[in-house]
């Protein structure tokens, strides 16, 4: 919602007043919901929106409808409205470590985070707005297992791109753990992981493909060499196992061919 942080941008959501440019087009939000009333509406990082937007959201959250700039009543009763925010997470996330917290520490940290988030919400939003929100869900801090799953998802996209070159990629469990450790930041979350994969995996792959160290038909096996901060990723190309041809009819049926005759 950072693109709606200025006062004049509010009209983009709900429509421009009569006589202004864009009046006939309607608002980006109201027009989409009017045409598709059964929708999920996501306001990402809602705390960055201009305060005037929350005034319009009050009626949507309370009555399930809103009158746009052209006087048409837009029905929001069949929409699911989700709002995300980063309020309260910056200070408390600095105390988390990746994969080394005991179960009791995780539970205590979550309760502390939840209390901090609720406190920040009350300071940032007006009570009449918070009272119209059905539920506040505070997500748990990402664990090492979560980060490794994200690594798998991102590497799967790399593997998909390599298919155009008749290649593939596989990572050892140690390589995944090293990527998770280097790519995750308790404050910034998992976003740096994408840059880490690009720097540590994709750039190295591109260079090795350019110098024909890795060729079409290879499965690239990524492992690590060394320990600690000095550990590096290694790349080894293995030939793809040739798929067996379709079995002949006689071996598939256990005879010389299909027997279509009936016994007398």
Q: What CATH number is attached to the domain comprising 202?
A: 1.10.8.60
The pLDDT of residue 11: 77
Question: Are 149 and 233 in a shared domain?
Answer: yes
Does some domain include residue 181? yes
The pLDDT of residue 40: 95
Question: Are 74 and 97 in a shared domain?
Answer: no
Q: Is the pTM of this model over 0.75?
A: no
Number of domains forming the structure of the chain: 3
Write out pLDDT tens, residues 76-94: 999 999 999 988 777 655 5
Does some domain include residue 121? yes
Last residue of a domain, one of 75, 98, 130: 130
Phi, psi of 247 (to 5 degrees): -65, 145
Does some domain include residue 169? yes
- Checking if the pLDDT of 16 tops 80, the result is no
Does some domain include residue 54? yes
- Concatenating the DSSP letter of every residue in 162-227 gives HGGGT-EEEE-HHHHHHHHHHH-BTTTBTHHHHHHHIIIIIHHHHHHHHTTSS-TTEEEEEEEESS
Question: Are 181 and 122 in a shared domain?
Answer: no
Percentage, residues of the chain above pLDDT 90: 41
Last residue of a domain, one of 97, 130, 163: 130
The domain containing residue 151 runs over which residues?
A: 144-239
- Indicate the pLDDT class of residue 162, thresholds 50, 70 and 90: very high
Does some domain include residue 114? yes
- Indicate the pLDDT class of residue 99, thresholds 50, 70 and 90: very low
Does some domain include residue 179? yes
Q: Please compute the mean of the pLDDT values over residues 97-122 and round it to a whole number.
A: 71
């Amino acid at each position: 919602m950072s693109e709606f942080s200025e006062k004049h941008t509010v009209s983009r959501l709900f429509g421009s007043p009569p006589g202004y440019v864009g009046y006939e087009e309607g608002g980006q939000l109201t027009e989409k919901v009017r045409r598709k009333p059964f929708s999920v509406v996501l306001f990402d990082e809602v705390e960055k929106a201009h305060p005037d937007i929350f005034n319009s959201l009050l009626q949507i959250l309370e009555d399930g409808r809103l009158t746009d700039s052209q006087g048409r009543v837009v029905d929001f009763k069949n929409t699911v409205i989700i709002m995300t925010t980063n309020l309260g997470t910056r200070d408390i996330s600095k105390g988390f470590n990746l994969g080394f917290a005991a179960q009791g520490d995780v539970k205590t940290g979550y309760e502390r985070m939840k209390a901090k988030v609720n406190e920040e919400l009350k300071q940032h939003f007006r009570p009449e707005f918070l009272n119209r929100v059905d539920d506040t869900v505070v997500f748990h801090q990402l664990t090492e297992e979560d980060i490794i799953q994200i690594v798998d998802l991102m590497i799967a996209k790399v593997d998909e791109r390599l298919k155009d070159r008749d290649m593939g990629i596989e990572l050892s469990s140690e390589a995944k753990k090293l990527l998770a450790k280097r790519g995750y930041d308790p404050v910034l979350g998992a976003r740096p992981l994408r840059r880490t994969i690009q720097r540590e995996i994709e750039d190295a792959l591109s260079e090795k493909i350019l110098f024909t160290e890795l060729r079409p038909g290879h499965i690239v096996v990524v492992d690590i060499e060394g320990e600690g901060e000095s550990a590096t990723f290694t790349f080894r190309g293995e030939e793809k196992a040739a798929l067996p041809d379709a079995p002949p009819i006689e071996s598939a049926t256990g005879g010389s061919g299909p027997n279509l005759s009936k016994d007398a």
